[in-house]
Amino acid sequence: MERVQLTTELSYSRYIHGLWRLADWNQTKEETLSLIEHALELGITTFDHADIYGGYTCEELFGEALSLKPSLREQIELVTKCGIVLPSKNRPEHKTHHYNTSRSHIVKSVDRSLKNLQTDYIDTLLIHRPDPYMDPEETAEAFIQLKEAGKVRTFGVSNFKDHQWNMLQSHLPFELVTNQLELSAYQLENFEDGTLNHCQEKRVPPMAWSPLAGGKVFNGEDERSKRLRDTLEKVQKEIGADGIDQVLYAWLLNHPAKIMPIIGSGRKDRITKAVQAMEWKLNHDQWFEILQSSMGHDVP
């Protein structure tokens, strides 16, 4: 498995396993451990969480599985996110859906994540969404406190535009290491508005959530889905891929920004199939044919 270097001391696997739906997979601890080990066998060592996933339950489910074999912690990188506050039966004190990037909230969220994941450090902490009420100086103070305490090794953001990234970065004495973005052949916003270019400018490899567009391309009846599906099937035949899902992954992997797709599946066969997409190379004609079918028109 290819590695992507974020700092001199930290690298991610090119593919990242996402645990957003872990609670929905209804697995035993042993089954989740087996899934972790399967990912590791394929070379996937980086696992993506957020405090809110599964109504604030997924981190704990993962931690319980990891506790069955604690030695695996040395082989993996744990990413988690905070900053979104959701009303939940597990958090009755939360009355409204809002954002909170205050120093106290971030520190408390990390302490809870460490407990739930049954680890004493997080490799990368991300602010989950841009917060219109953010005090970047206070957020930076939380980052510095957590880094000095050894609780978090590196920091990044998720869904940030370039001006939001720059604002937070300007208050930090160290570099943000990644931006987790919605990136797919169906969802082109971050390709078109300069966000991905900003990652390239800063030499920051982005993580891609929903790389398969939430399944829209497979069964969507809107015109964009139909156009894109036809083109993906054409390219699939040309390169010999096993499905259009592999073409969607390959489209991101072939981009020079070193995009790291997040595989959000609890099925071993789908994870294996996604990793196999690393074998497929798209030429310029094929890459742009997919782009233009999604846009619905030729490039300017």
Parent domain of 118: 3-177
Q: What is the pLDDT of residue 52?
A: 95
Report the alpha-carbon distance of residue 194 to residue 88 in Å, rounded: 35
Is 221 part of a structural domain of the chain?
no
Positions of E strands within the chain: 3-5, 11-13, 16-18, 46-48, 77-82, 84-85, 98-99, 122-127, 152-158, 179-182, 207-209, 260-263
Is 235 part of a structural domain of the chain?
no
Residues of the chain under the 50 pLDDT cut: none
Is 232 part of a structural domain of the chain?
no
Beta pairing class for 11-13 and 3-5: antiparallel
What pLDDT, in 10s, does the model give residues 179-210? 999 999 999 999 999 999 999 999 999 999 99
How many domains, in total, are found in the chain?
A: 1
Q: How many residues does the chain have?
A: 300
Is 292 part of a structural domain of the chain?
no
Is 227 part of a structural domain of the chain?
no
The CATH code of the domain that includes 96 is 3.20.20.100
Is 105 part of a structural domain of the chain?
yes
Would you name the residues annotated as active-site residues? Answer: 53
How many other C-beta atoms are found inside a 10 Å radius of the C-beta of residue 285?
10
Is 17 part of a structural domain of the chain?
yes
Is 300 part of a structural domain of the chain?
no
| Residue among 152, 172, 168 nearest 160 (CA) | 168
